[in-house]
Homo-oligomer: A and B are copies of this chain.
């Protein structure tokens, strides 16, 4: 890493984030679990296989259409466990609060964490609260770490992906990113957009119920779908081809993106899952997802291709082809 100072782009979940991880963290903390760079580490404790993950949430604003930082913190960590094929069980809650923060707001956030945890069937069993002076933090930051139980039947991960496999997305792209951006910038939208912030565990369970050879699942948060798909293939002998017209994007999201020059492929999602499955299971998995309200816009959006090793290629609406890199410079700070 050549930079001397940390920039917002180091935290955008894209290329610089990956560089920081691979040049600073992976060499220092050197262990096989971390090197997997999955959404959660899979470890053994006394012979029991468990998934373990952590996420700090610094979203601004803390209350937004469709959720708040509390809901996001619980759903985000539950989702990271779910996409590993784990059954989420226990969460921790580490708060950093700025002096002067409203106790009523804290109560609302904690209540929201409690409701979301109940919905996900997890227990928040341990916590820590730090208070820093006025000006030393912006309101409230929440870390949630989580533990999930791994079964025998979990996705085998990147190495199991094969040419011809189908890429499936559980719903429309960019709702969270655009909702946060609009709220932050006080954009007045006729159809006020909501974040898609949600527990995706039911989607994952439904898909695993009809397909026991899902290769990999991820929730495309910071960095968006484009970054997640690049992670799937960046060191592989094959690539991914996705078809623009198959990718669900809400009209209002598209409108904001066009107005501001954003690309929905890079916008954050907080209630979606992208999965790679064998081609022959694709139809069944899409149907299974569509049977749930959260998955009604699920779609088969592309496939693993031998043509573009290590790359993600978008077939555009005008029949062109465009290579899609990881998120690079756009910082989108504090989106989660």
- Chain B residue at minimal CB-CB distance from A1: B103
- How many Å lie between the Cα of A47 and that of B48 in the bound state? 8
- Which of chain B's residues have a CB closer than 8 A to the CB of A138? 132, 135-137
Interface check A131, CB cutoff 8 A: yes
**Within the complex, which residue of B99, B113, B125 is in contact with A8, where a contact is CB–CB below 8 Å?**
B99
A34 with B102: CB separation less than 8 A: no
B55 with A6: CB separation less than 8 A: no
Interface check A5, CB cutoff 8 A: yes
Interface check A333, CB cutoff 8 A: yes
- Chain B residue at minimal CB-CB distance from A105: B6
Known: A55-B94, A96-B58. A41 touches B7 (CB 8 A): no
Interface check A213, CB cutoff 8 A: no
- Which of chain B's residues have a CB closer than 8 A to the CB of A30? 114
A127 with B6: CB separation less than 8 A: no
- Which of chain B's residues have a CB closer than 8 A to the CB of A21? 127, 129
A52 with B334: CB separation less than 8 A: no
Interface size classification for chain A: 35 or more
- Give the shortest distance, in Å, between A194 (CB) and chain B (any CB): 23
Copies in the complex: 2
A34 with B125: CB separation less than 8 A: yes
- Give the shortest distance, in Å, between A150 (CB) and chain B (any CB): 8
Q: For window 123-158 of chain A, which residues contact chain B by CB distance below 8 Å? A: 123-133, 135-138, 141, 143, 145, 147, 149
- Chain B residue at minimal CB-CB distance from A76: B128
**Within the complex, which residue of B53, B90, B128 is in contact with A55, where a contact is CB–CB below 8 Å?**
B128
- Give the shortest distance, in Å, between A134 (CB) and chain B (any CB): 9
A97 with B11: CB separation less than 8 A: yes
A54 with B93: CB separation less than 8 A: yes
A94 with B125: CB separation less than 8 A: no
- Give the shortest distance, in Å, between A148 (CB) and chain B (any CB): 8
- Which of chain B's residues have a CB closer than 8 A to the CB of A17? 129
Interface string of A24-50 (1 = CB under 8 A from B): 110011110110000011010111111
Known: A43-B123, A145-B145; 7 extra A-B contacts, CB below 8 A, are A6-B97, A6-B102, A8-B133, A20-B129, A40-B126, A54-B94, A135-B138
Q: Can you name 7 A-B pairs with beta carbons within 8 Å?
A: A31-B124, A34-B126, A52-B125, A57-B130, A131-B333, A133-B333, A143-B143
Nearest first, the 9 closest Cβ-Cβ pairs linking A and B are: A11-B131, A145-B145, A54-B92, A41-B125, A48-B48, A33-B125, A143-B143, A136-B138, A41-B126
